[in-house]
Structure 1
């Protein structure tokens, strides 16, 4: 007679899964997956990133199942691990240089990305390439805390202020002023001087 896995307590389910019962493991995932998805709903991650985090959480659980001493506390373990994995995913974004987003903030500094006929100017691509190269130089010159903060403001999909505060370790109320100071420091970079002069 088959055991009704849905009626088993967490400790028994874990014991069966450790003994190689695949159905018991499937029941663990089914029983607690809602915990992970509920936590993930609070993060601005793409569907692909959320799926990656979800898979990572339950892979870690499978790896560490034998170390779980209090199976009744599995929901808390899953919630904490999901949150940590989601934050790790967000931090990985902050190591990318948001050149395209930064370039757009300069609002066509040389005024030559399009012609009067509505098509691209002959030198528009070269200007864009030069601007992006200058932005990479200017961005690399910023302090680490400025680079991280600006990237967090420019990731796609956008992060909430609460998420940026948690990831960066800054008070929420300081984010706007800090972002402004970092952008001003970026604009003062010698690498961007020619573009700002053309714009003025």
Structure 2
């Protein structure tokens, strides 16, 4: 596909109008045309077969729900791709939250007084260093501690998904320098 006119020429616009009007054959043709792309997007997010299948089904459901609001029916391919990416990121985030956390370090009761004192001093150093960071880094690192995935961080911070990792790395490097 070289430009937007190709989708108009390949009948996508007509298929969307017919599917919106209840034509089952048109709907089946849309599913046939775009399902492979949706599966590729979901699998590209590292989802297993079951989760990828859920993403594909949910994406089609979103189209059914929003079909009347689609301003440019011929652009359904892009709409489906964007929706599948968002759904895949959501599922990947939920799955990351479901992974059991590492066991907690030994409780304070299991440590001697010297170890507890050292741990508290270190915690105080980290807290002071966090306060010295720029506000954006403070917010990002707090969200990292709460959020399970970069998609949520990017949305919360209103930055591109690809910027989350490098920004996080810079903030952590600054934090390490401040802690000494």
Distance in 2 between residues matched to 1:47 and 1:37, nearest whole Å = 9
The yes-or-no answer on 1:168 pairing with 2:161 is: no
Structure 2 unpaired stretches of 5+: 1-8, 107-141, 155-162, 176-180
RMSD: 3.3
Distance in 2 between residues matched to 1:97 and 1:55, nearest whole Å = 24
The answer for the alignment partner of 2:73 in structure 1 is 71
Deviation at 1:94, TM superposition (A): 4.7
- Residue from 4, 10, 13 that aligns with 1:11: 13
Deviations 1:28-73 (A, max 9, x none): 1111122212322321112111110000001111222222221221
TM-score where L is the length of structure 1: 0.51
Structure 1 unpaired stretches of 5+: 1-6, 110-142, 153-163, 182-200
Structure 1 residues 8 and 21: alpha-carbon distance in aligned structure 2, compared to 1, 3 A threshold: farther
The answer for the alignment partner of 2:136 in structure 1 is none
Number of residue pairs matched?
124
TM-score where L is the length of structure 2: 0.56
Distance in 2 between residues matched to 1:80 and 1:145, nearest whole Å = 25
Higher helix share: 2
Deviation at 1:16, TM superposition (A): 1.8
